Amino acid sequence: MPSLERVRVALRGLVRLTGREGQAIVYTDFEDTLDGVRDVALARVVPGLDRRAFRERLFGFLDGRSDVALHKLRTGRPLTQVDLDQLQEALTSAGGVDAAQLHAEAAGAGGLGRLVRSIVGMERSAVEEALADFVSAPGFTHRQHAFVDLVVQQLTLAGYLDPRRLYEDPFDGVAPEGPDAIFSDAQVTDLIARIRRVDDSADPVAGSVSA
């Protein structure tokens, strides 16, 4: 799709050069087949809009808070089930979030930690720290730095990055043929492993101590 969009934009500058001589005029004569006016019952809740409103409500409550679980999710530090339970309690009590809908949204996101992180994002410094020794390898090129910077941006904003997106927009703007074209196989494997470790840090760690 990104390639097709670039072609479309490029063709716009050429269309004006197309001659209009010899172009036949096309007339249309369609018969109106619409039925008469009738009442239609509309659903009270639109799932897509309802889900967006729910996430906006979560963001409105979470923005600016300094809960232990939120801090750990934003910084990628290990968190416990107790941390998540306390966060859930805050959402459903002080935040007034419907418990059933919160449970459903969390299940769809792969857990409450992932759901919340997808809304509040991560601290850029924490993401950079997770990739620090990767980008400090000898001989790291400008394109490689630009590619990793996009990874950092995506993780900072969304708190998650599907490794398959490394072959799509906006990454194809730096590496149109994918990361394999600018990184070695070992580097690609390492980068994907780091991205997955960042994602896994949204899961509670058994036996860890809440702090």
pLDDT value of position 8: 80
Q: What is the mean pLDDT of residues 185-190?
A: 97
In the predicted structure, residue 209 carries a pLDDT above the cut 90 = no
In the predicted structure, residue 20 carries a pLDDT above the cut 90 = no
Kindly list the distances between the CA atom of residue 17 and the CA atoms of 10, 46, 138, 202, in Å, as whole numbers in the listed order.
13, 46, 50, 55
Q: For residue 210, what pLDDT band results from cuts at 50, 70 and 90?
A: very low
Q: Which two tokens stand for residue 67?
A: 């809960």
Q: How far apart are the first and last CA of the chain?
A: 46
d(CA 109, CA 130): 22
Q: What is the mean pLDDT of residues 105-120?
A: 95
**CB atoms closer than 10 angstroms to residue 137:** 10
pTM, entire model: 0.72
Residue appearing with tokens 């409550």: 61
Identity at 30, one-letter amino acid code? F
**Per-residue pLDDT tens for 136-148?**
989 999 999 999 9
Residue appearing with tokens 């990793």: 148
Q: For residue 211, what pLDDT band results from cuts at 50, 70 and 90?
A: very low
Q: Which two tokens stand for residue 139?
A: 């001989």
pLDDT value of position 64: 83
Q: What is the largest CA-CA distance in the chain?
A: 79
In the predicted structure, residue 122 carries a pLDDT above the cut 90 = yes
17 burial (CB, 10 Å; 0-12 / 13-18 / 19+) is: exposed
pLDDT value of position 41: 63
d(CA 98, CA 90): 12
pLDDT value of position 47: 54
pLDDT value of position 148: 97
**Per-residue pLDDT tens for 35-94?**
666 776 655 545 556 788 898 999 999 988 889 999 999 999 999 999 999 999 999 998
Between CA 196 and CA 68, with CA 87 as vertex, the angle to 5 degrees is: 75
Mean pLDDT for all residues in the chain: 87
Residues 6+ apart with CB under 8 A from 66: none
